[in-house]
Every structure is written in structure tokens, then in C-alpha cells.
Chains A and B, each alone.
Chain A
Amino acid sequence: MIEVKNITYSYPNSDSKALNDLSVTIQDQQWIALVGHNGSGKSTIARVIDGLVEGYQGEVTVNGMPLNDDTVWDIRDQIGFVFQNPDNQFVGATVQDDVAFGLENRNVPRPEMVERVQQALEVVGMSEFATREPSSLSGGQKQRVALAGAIALQPKILILDEATSMLDPQGRQEMLEILKQMKQRFELTIIMITHDLSETAMADRVLLMNHGQLVADAQPEKLFARTQVIKDNGLELPYSEQLKEQLAVAGIDLPREYMNEDRMVEWLWDKLN
């Protein structure tokens, strides 16, 4: 369980508040989608939870441990973090070295490390690139490697900061599927930061942020229904939801639950026949 209580924070060189009295509780094994427009404070709150930010007001507790200088390394041990920019988190000289980096830090014995690196690369479909250097990889491939690096640690909590932004639509769908399976297998808690509301459909809860505050906290379908809130906070409904809205205006009866584009096409096809 992650408890964030009344966090207020400004970056040292700025006077506006990146986080403004933010409180939220995340239960174990929940899949959280964190959305909001650029600069709404998503990355900042994720960093606070991982103990990467200092000098904030408020309290953070992760799995019963209050976050402070003594516990920060234990807490980080339980968290796998994938950052926004895949190039600036690539530490190793090759793909496999990079995936191994976190394991080396945790002093995992070498035979086990080799195995876990291989497995993690397999999961993200990057096995054949194991010995490649980062400069010879595409952005999306680097993001896959970054994800492998986090998976290899077998964390309890996985924080993904726009970790699929450079993947093609199919790759993104694949990653979401992988996350879903991993969540079940390892009883993961996932915090996924994204701009794209259609990526939130798999989440148990969507947290919508603006100006360092929580504006909405709801299940995806419930949030999609609040179209005004979404628009007011600078986001866009998934395409299928926009279509649904238009159809509703035209007086066509639609199911309440979220449908992705494929499901939508199917439903329309049935309806038309």
C-alpha cells in the first residue's frame, strides 16, 4: 500500500507549486493510471514516492514504511521505475549490461542474474538485441530495455512514467498485455503515467491531475462519462469514446462499458446487421 499525505512541493529553482497538498492512497495490486496534461505534476509525485525528491512537505508511506533517509533504499528495492526519457536511464554499455545494472546493485549472484536478465529480455521481446549498444537502438527499443531493467528486479510496485510513449500502437498494446500478465503473476501494483486516456482502460483507477492536485479519482468508464472534466483538464477522450458521444447525440443506444476501437467496430458491425 502506498499512502501519500498532504504533499506540497516546489522545485528549488521555481516558485510555483509542482505538487499542492496532494493526498492519495493506493492499495496493493491496484493498477493506477495517472493522467494529466504537461506540467500537471505526474512525474513529480512519482519521484516523491520513490524518494528521489527532497524537501517536500507531507508524508509518504510505502508498504507500512514511512519514507525517510533510513528507509529510502529499502523502499526503492520494492519499486521498479521506468523514466520518461529512455536514453537518459540507459546506464549499461550494452542491452544486457543495462538490464543487469539494478541486479548488480542488489548484489544478486551472477548465475541468477544471467537468468533473470535473459528472462526479462524475453518478456519484452528484446532477446536478440542482448549484446547491442544503446546507440544502435530505436527509442521504442530503448523503452523496452528500460522496462526489462525494471521487470528483472521483480519489484512489488512498478512505476511507469510515459514508458510506452515511443512504442508503435502494436508494441504499446503488447506492453499493456505483458503488464497485465505480470500484474497477475507477481501481484504487482502498477502506477502508469500517460497522456493517452485509451491506455487507461485496463486500469482499476484513473487519477486525473492538474496544477499539482488531484482533480478526479474514478474507474475508467466512470471518468470517460465525465467528458467536461476531461476537457477542462486539457485531455482528450479516447477515439471510440468520442464516437460514442456523437452516436448518443444522434439518439443511438450504446452499452455503458468502455470499448476499444476493435470492440467498437465489432459492435457497430453487429448493430448494422
Chain B
Amino acid sequence: MFTKVIFGRYVPIDSVIHRLDPRSKLVLSLYFIVLVFFANNWQSYAFLAATTLATILLTKVQLKFFWEGIRPLIFIIILTVLLQIVFSAGGTVYWHWGIFSITSMGLVNGVYVFMRFFLIICMSTVLTLTTPPLLIADAVESLMKPLLKIKVPVYEIALMLSIALRFIPTLMDETQKIMNAQRARGVNFSSGSLIKRVKSIVPILIPLFISAFNRAEDLATAMESRGYRGGDHRSKFRILKWRGADTIACVGMAAITAGLFLLRLL
């Protein structure tokens, strides 16, 4: 239950999108998210939806994984769309009650907002389903390198990120173990009043923190004994490689941009 992260987890299969450099995937998906806000009519939304669908198909990942990525956010999406519909005015009025009204403009706006959400989530899911978190961390490191000039400890941040990623499953396991140990002592996590349930979390958190600190101390010692001194006098085992496909992906994105701005004129 804890292991589901929003946007979905990496699916280790082979596809054109999987093989792209994480840097290009990261930058292009962020770029696409910005691009979505430039769509202003149904043609441009349809166009972006078509390109998103094409990308999703290229990942070869089953559609149900995308649905799983959207599901946790569905409530927020519906709420926003509803608010958008009942609060925006203009066009034909279909229904009206106090400050609330359903109008043709409201409906259109609602659909646009839904599309925006939907496209953004789909593209972010494409990124996380096709790129292991570690490579995303690598991409962040590589893209942040210019910040070294203003003394941002980029390498340290990247190492912290990768260690955090590495310890998430370990700590999840630990939480589960502690919960089981508490259950064996008669604690019930799933019933009782809200206050009671929140209270039952405290005896999970305290041992979890203690063990996390112990682990951190052990880890620091182990890193030191293996010669870690921080800074940039380190060689790198994992390297990122920009390939032809990445350039093609960028050109494709430029074409999509051009297409979108043409459709905006309609």
C-alpha cells in the first residue's frame, strides 16, 4: 500500500522512449507541460492529445499503468473541473441557482481544464514509467551542473537524492515490520476514532526514526571507510549519453510547438 507513488513506477521494458537520455526526457516533459498552457481551442487540445497518445503508444507500457497514475489524482481533477463549471459564466445558461450556474462557456472551460490536467499527468507518467528514479536523479545532477559556479553543492545534492531513493524501500520494509510488531502487541491501526488512529502512528514513527538515524550513522561510517570525502574529485560510474534519438525527440517537440501555434490561430 505504501509502495504506490503518484505518477506510477518505472516499468522495466524496452522501447524507444525508455532508451532516450533521461535529460532529454526530463526537459522535454517539463517543456510539454508548459506547452499545454498555450492550447486555447479544441483543435489545439485535440492536437496535443494526439501527440500524447502517440508518445504513450511509443512507450509500449500497458494503458492500465497510466490509469493507475491518474487515479490517485482523480478526486482533485473532478473537484477542480466542477468548480470551473459552476463558477464560470458566459454563453447560454442551462441552469442557475444563486451564484452557481451551468453555462456553455463553463462547460467548455471545464473540459479544457480537464484536458490540461489529463495531458500533464499523462506526460509526467510517461517520464516516470520509462525512467528509473535513479536516472532522473542523474539528469537533475547533470542539468544543475551550471549551478556549481554559484557554489551550489550539486554533487552532494545528487548523492543525497540517490541515497534517499535507495533507502525508500528499506524504510518501507522497516515500517511494515514495526507495524507488524505493534500489531502482534495488540495495536489496531485500522479501526477506532481518527484521534485514536493518529495516536497509534506515534509508536511507529519513534522506532522508525531511531532506526533511520542509526542507519544513517552506519552508512556515514561505511562511506567514510570507502574513501568518500565529498566534492568533485570523484570519477563517475554511471554516465549519460546523448544519442541521435534524443536529437530527433527534440526536433519532434519543436514540430509539435510549431503545430500548436498554428492551431492557436484558428
Which A residues have a C-beta under 8 Å from some C-beta of B? Answer: 47, 50, 52, 73, 76-77, 79, 81, 83, 85, 87-94, 96-97, 100-110, 113-114, 117, 133-135, 149, 153
Contact = CB atoms under 8 A, between A and B. Distances in A.
A114 B163 CA distance: 21
Nearest to A90: B166
Contacts of A94: 134
Contacts of B169: 133-135
Contacts of B237: 96-97, 100-101, 103-104, 110, 113-114, 117
Contact of B235 (A73, A85, A93, A103): A103
Interface in B227-266: 227-229, 233-239
B165 A102 contact: no
Contacts of B239: 110
Contacts of A90: 166
> Is chain A's binding surface mostly helix, strand, loop or mixed?
helix
Interface of B: 134, 162-163, 165-166, 169-170, 173, 214-215, 218-219, 221-229, 233-239
B228 A93 contact: no
A76 B222 contact: no
A153 B227 CA distance: 10
A100 B236 CA distance: 9
In the A-B complex, the 7 residue pairs with the closest CB atoms: A88-B218, A89-B222, A100-B237, A135-B169, A105-B227, A102-B226, A81-B225
* Interface-centre pick from B165, B173, B224 (highest chain A CB count, 10 A): B224
A102 B214 CA distance: 22
Contacts of A89: 218-219, 222
Given A100-B237, A113-B235, A91 B223 contact: yes
* Interface-centre pick from A93, A94, A96 (highest chain B CB count, 10 A): A93
A152 to B, nearest CB: 10
B132 to A, nearest CB: 8
